[in-house]
Structure 1
């Protein structure tokens, strides 16, 4: 399909004054977005960070398992990558306190420094866990700064396309980590792999430094900067006092329920007599589905329609988990989780709608709070599911998660059906006024 330019703005990376696309040209957003130099730099930095994150997670879990021989210790290692966002709202406000380009660079460099320490041979397990926890913390202000910066670079429907590209890249990063991580570790060992991962974060920081224009902090030097606790309180009030933002946040946090099979992949494979390869397919199923669903939702479905589909898609995302009532074979497990991923691509649209509906001055903190809640919901969900699976098996736990997810999604769908039209008009107005 031809994708003509929407305007005649020179391709210098500064598109803050460009107009929103017309209703007839919304499909051209992908090419328009990739034509923006600053977006390409932000996208490449995100891709490098995602690959680095997944390689780090795999290499560190292998390192811990080799040292301890304990599957539980390896599981705790992976769970730790989800739990830091529980406390990270305290630092999410960095994206609003300081220039966002500077925040992204500092976060990448901080992660690189900590990661090198993790890979030092002979590091005790407790120290590895502490360092791994600390290495994840900067990812929240990084993501908050990135999302807020994209809203300054790109507006309107093209912002939806930009977040779709970012999240599709995330899914590819997960798949690349699952496929490449084990191979790299087998050739050079976990210690060298972990330490080398820091290079990817240094490259990410360099890309942002060279490819993204410096912008001032949303809070000017003349304004009194509030403390982190005050910002966290105000950010929570901003999100949860607005019915539209509150509903979008809760729709995002449903991942804490429908993402539970990812954390139970290994015991699920063991229960059907399969091994690590089967667990890998189970873990990758939802990512494959999310990639396909994201392309369909953002390339084929018109913007007003996709916004109104958020509620129904959230219900459909959780529904396939009820198949575990019949003890599905491996192929049906993977197919069901792929369907979850296809429907779960509603998160792409919900993410963009949330950021564009938040006032500019609070975007970084609000996004950081919701992103932290999403990570925390997934981490706590996996820990609780693992605990109950020890007593009841994986099937009943997954069915229960699916039933709760369908119920919660249905309850959220009712108010969203009344808010979708208003949100569409707000996003269109945001693009036109940019």
Structure 2
């Protein structure tokens, strides 16, 4: 029997098998996706939002440090960005399944921009900065859920995977651009102007979505079809955790809370090899460099069915390089190991695509929001726990333990996924036909 394809369309059924050569049309999906005007608008808004988010982080940390001269206060400022998903992620993500998703994205961006503009007003007290920063992160939760669900309506199947890969690769570049732009603007024009520039970038992203993406009705167009959010959260949790396939994909995604621990310990790891802030920055950049190239290879050179079956092994390999810290590696080897880990972690692109496309249309926003909130929470708690352990134990030992636990958990998830992979490919094809 022929292997099911992720880029299967109804037109494929009209083709004669005898006249069809071995198909590798999925390789051109990047060009096909970028040729879609709505996708280009969504992608450009995503790039601007990524730059804005990182510009906000560096501006907020710089402003708080200037006011307090306290590293602890600056660290707490950054940690605030992890709290909203833990507290309100499931609740707010459900908004993406109640209202039209384009409207949700535009309103969330405009609300977020107004809060950021408020932070940039000179003389805002520290407590207000923290409160406004916390609130400015909240709109990103329904925004991300709405964007993920909307993307499945613009592109499907293998084009969705390619589109998601483009988004991920753009995020890597946008992170570096945002940090660089934030540092430059803060140094040249002042921290307050950095906030104003950030707000302007987000407003521009909202306008691009408003005029570049057509309006679509919400999955629950009639008011009578809109259940209360607590009911949606309950049903969404049952949907994700009651389905063995979706539950496994969610847990595979949350493994990032373990293999990303060196990112949170970059400063102490750098200090152990006699480095400083520059070395710590290189350690933090390692996983993102690897993810950039790994994501490109995985989505451009590996056939779709093979990718799906590689999820489990790649999840194991993402944590494996952390065992090198048993041997007190030099800085260059740390960076190489983290780049390899990042390349393997690009399985997240495929897991994300499989998860979103396997969820029923009317529940995609909430289901994606639940898993995304869990991912951010796992990373935040991982950084916090690693930092606490590093106070009492050697940071290298903490990294090794994280790697060992990650390998064991990933192997435990890879075994059931080996049985689920084939059926997942088939279900994704069926979902594409139905859409």
Q: TM-score range by the shorter chain?
A: over 0.9
TM-score (norm 2): 0.93
Contact 1:39-1:153 at 8 Å conserved across structures? yes
Q: Deviations over 1:220-250 (max 9, x none)?
A: 2253422222111111110000000000000
Contact 1:175-1:287 at 8 Å conserved across structures? no
Aligned position for 2:432: 431
Aligned position for 1:127: 128
> Could you tell me how far 1:433 is from its partner in structure 2?
3.9
Mark the CA change 1:258 to 1:284 in structure 2 (over 3 Å): closer, same or farther. same
> Could you tell me how far 1:182 is from its partner in structure 2?
2.0
> Could you tell me how far 1:338 is from its partner in structure 2?
0.7
Contact 1:79-1:383 at 8 Å conserved across structures? no
Contact 2:59-2:191 at 8 Å conserved across structures? yes
Contact 1:95-1:365 at 8 Å conserved across structures? yes
In the alignment, is residue 366 of structure 1 matched against residue 355 of structure 2? no
State the distance in 1 between where 2:46 and 2:139 align: 13
Mark the CA change 1:48 to 1:264 in structure 2 (over 3 Å): closer, same or farther. same
> Could you tell me how far 1:126 is from its partner in structure 2?
2.1
In the alignment, is residue 33 of structure 1 matched against residue 11 of structure 2? no
State the distance in 2 between where 1:144 and 1:66 align: 35
Write the mapping of 1:27-426 to structure 2, written as runs, cut at 5 A.
Answer: 27-87=27-87, 88-426=89-427
State the distance in 2 between where 1:327 and 1:40 align: 45
Contact 1:101-1:214 at 8 Å conserved across structures? yes
> Could you tell me how far 1:19 is from its partner in structure 2?
7.2
> Could you tell me how far 1:279 is from its partner in structure 2?
1.3
DSSP-derived class of the 1:226 partner:
coil
Let me know the Cα RMSD of the aligned residues: 1.8
Q: 204-213 or 172-181, which moves further after superposition? A: 172-181
Structure 1 residues not aligned, in runs of 5+:
1-6, 8-15
Mark the CA change 1:383 to 1:415 in structure 2 (over 3 Å): closer, same or farther. same
- Number of matched pairs: 420
Structure 2 residues not aligned, in runs of 5+:
1-6, 16-21
Contact 2:185-2:193 at 8 Å conserved across structures? no
> Could you tell me how far 1:186 is from its partner in structure 2?
1.5
> Could you tell me how far 1:18 is from its partner in structure 2?
8.2
Contact 1:47-1:169 at 8 Å conserved across structures? yes
Contact 1:19-1:431 at 8 Å conserved across structures? no
Mark the CA change 1:137 to 1:414 in structure 2 (over 3 Å): closer, same or farther. same
State the distance in 1 between where 2:239 and 2:162 align: 25
Q: Deviations over 1:352-383 (max 9, x none)?
A: 00000000010000001100111111111111
> Could you tell me how far 1:120 is from its partner in structure 2?
2.0
Q: Deviations over 1:135-164 (max 9, x none)?
A: 111111111101111111111111111111
State the distance in 2 between where 1:69 and 1:222 align: 52
> Could you tell me how far 1:343 is from its partner in structure 2?
0.2
Q: 249-258 or 168-177, which moves further after superposition? A: 168-177
TM-score (norm 1): 0.93
